[in-house]
Amino acid sequence: MQEHDARILRGAAIPTAAAGLVAMAAATAAAGVHGLLGALYGALLVLGAFAVSAYVIAWTGERNPQLMLPVAFVVYTTKVGVLAVVLVLFGGSTAFDHTAFAFTALACIVCWLGGQAVASKRVKQLTVVPASEAESEPGSEPDPAEGRR
């Protein structure tokens, strides 16, 4: 994983984990142990799903940047599918508080997306290759339009 990808991942994961801890404390105060478990499962589900998807997309970008968009679509649909399976499997469970699970997951999703946006803005990754680097690459030919000025 490249450094800028790791910084974005940390910039999203740390605030999300902090929000999960706050949600666990609030859910414990409101619903006891069942609230704590619901908040814990919600935070872990969001952290796990988003961290794995960010890692897979960053890994793909290092190896083949042209595949990043298709892989992002596959990762997104897989994430939605896993969430649907989790909700169906544990929909009738009484092991944890469903309200704490839902609100914690929602808060963690918002924190992850906000942290990722802020971290992406701060990284300032170059999206255009500077002219000096393009000229020094082997096999690159000078632009004939530039010589006619």
- In a domain? residue 42: yes
Cα separation, 96 vs 10, whole angstroms: 29
Per the structure, the count of domains in the chain is: 1
Could you list the residue range(s) of the whole structural domain that residue 59 is in?
3-125
3-class state of residue 3 by DSSP: helix
- Would you give per-residue pLDDT tens digits along the chain (149 residues)? 678 788 888 999 999 999 999 999 999 999 999 999 999 999 999 999 999 998 898 899 888 889 989 999 999 999 899 889 988 998 888 889 999 999 999 999 999 999 999 988 887 766 666 677 555 556 555 555 555 55
The per-residue pLDDT for 129 is 63
The per-residue pLDDT for 50 is 92
- In a domain? residue 132: no
The per-residue pLDDT for 62 is 87
- In a domain? residue 141: no
Helix (H), strand (E), coil (C) string for the chain: CCHHHHHHHHHHHHHHHHHHHHHHHHHHHHHHHHHHHHHHHHHHHHHHHHHHHHHHHHHHHHHCHHHHHHHHHHHHHHHHHHHHHHHHHCCCCCCCCHHHHHHHHHHHHHHHHHHHHHHHHHHCCCCCCCHHHHHHCCCCCCCHHHHCC
- In a domain? residue 90: yes
Residue among 42, 7, 48, 9 at smallest CA distance from 24: 42
The per-residue pLDDT for 144 is 57
- In a domain? residue 131: no
- In a domain? residue 112: yes
- In a domain? residue 145: no
- In a domain? residue 138: no
